[in-house]
Amino acid sequence: MKKYGIIPLSVIPVRKQPSHRSEMITELLFGDTFTILDQINEWYKIKRWWDDYEGWITESSFVPISEKQFNALAREPVIIIDSMVLASTDDPADGIRRLPEGARLPFWDKKKNTCQVGDIVFKLPGIHLEEGKAKDRLSLTEYAHNFTGVPYLWGGLSSCGFDCSGFVQTIFRINGYHLPRDASQQSRIGKDIPFTEKAQPGDLAFFGDEEDKITHVGIVLPDHKIIHASGRVRIDRLDHHGIYDEKKGKYTHKLLLLKDPFHE
């Protein structure tokens, strides 16, 4: 029989292997649900519901839910927060949770301003949320500017730290679009764009090494700019050669591919 879980914490690491020493390959955010695939002692191999990404998390970082709850959450409208909010329970020992942008509010009750994670009810006073609708290209790129300066973090998927593809995936998800987790996976969706001059705001630009292996991704902005996570979330110049760092006076990433993720 399949087993399921949900995250009651703000953000947790997902490891490549069942060890605290293993690299973090992504993160799970508050409200994320998943299927449990395997267990080794305190470690659980999981598959995230909304993008099928797999990795290992610890037993202390989630609460189990029933198949009925899991399926109900898969059917109900997905409420994703676009700014950091505070959540608390009736138990003072739980403290205050600072929920990052991109977190989901499961079983959201807009009359009471509460959501429910397993059997735990969280209160989010003073906020007004509605079911999100997909934003247009320009709105998406304008929203991305809010994260300029956020530090780079390998495997990061929150405003505490992003990696390049995690930044792209999070921006798109908050704005109503689902993309795969890794840059190489993201490069396989959408429509090819032949020239940088044809690229529109919100298109994706992919970069790589001399062997043409994709290692980096960013979001195209107006006026031949790009926003991407490299050292930190930053804005640089983009042309047919790649990303040009004006402070360093050189190209830092070689352009391999441009894609329109809004159309196949």
Catalytic position from the list 228, 240, 241, 253: 228
How far is Cα of residue 7 from the mean position of the Cα atoms in its chain? 15
Annotated active-site residue 164? The verdict is: yes
End position of a domain, from candidates 123, 156, 172: 123
End position of a domain, from candidates 123, 152, 172: 123
Statement to judge: residues 82 and 59 lie in one domain: yes
Is residue 7 within a helix (H) or strand (E), and if so which, with residue range?
none
pLDDT score recorded for residue 132:
60
Q: Taking the model in full, what pTM does it have? A: 0.95
Statement to judge: residues 179 and 208 lie in one domain: yes
Catalytic position from the list 20, 164, 240, 241: 164
CB of 206 closer than 8 Å to CB of 142:
no
- And the tokens for 224? 């031949």
Statement to judge: residues 187 and 104 lie in one domain: no
> Distance between CA atoms of 258 and 255, rounded to whole angstroms?
8
Residue segments in the chain with a per-residue pLDDT below the cut of 50: none
Catalytic position from the list 20, 128, 216, 263: 216
Return the bridge partners of 40, or none.
43
Residue 70, helix vs strand vs coil: helix
- What DSSP string describes 195-246? -GGG--TT-EEEEE-TT--EEEEEEEETTTEEEEEESEEEEEEE-SSEEEET
- And the tokens for 49? 């519901």
Statement to judge: residues 158 and 214 lie in one domain: yes
Statement to judge: residues 93 and 145 lie in one domain: no
- And the tokens for 100? 């990052």
The secondary structure of the chain in percent helix, strand, coil, rounded to multiples of 5, reads 15, 40, 45
Task: Decide if 80 is inside a domain.
Answer: yes
pLDDT score recorded for residue 211:
75
Annotated active-site residue 228? The verdict is: yes
pLDDT score recorded for residue 126:
79
Statement to judge: residues 252 and 176 lie in one domain: yes
Statement to judge: residues 174 and 247 lie in one domain: yes
Statement to judge: residues 152 and 200 lie in one domain: yes
> Distance between CA atoms of 149 and 153, rounded to whole angstroms?
12
CB of 30 closer than 8 Å to CB of 160:
no
- What DSSP string describes 86-115? EEE-S-GGG-EEEEPTT-B-TT-BTTTTEE
CATH at 81: 2.30.30.40
Statement to judge: residues 91 and 156 lie in one domain: no
pLDDT score recorded for residue 56:
99
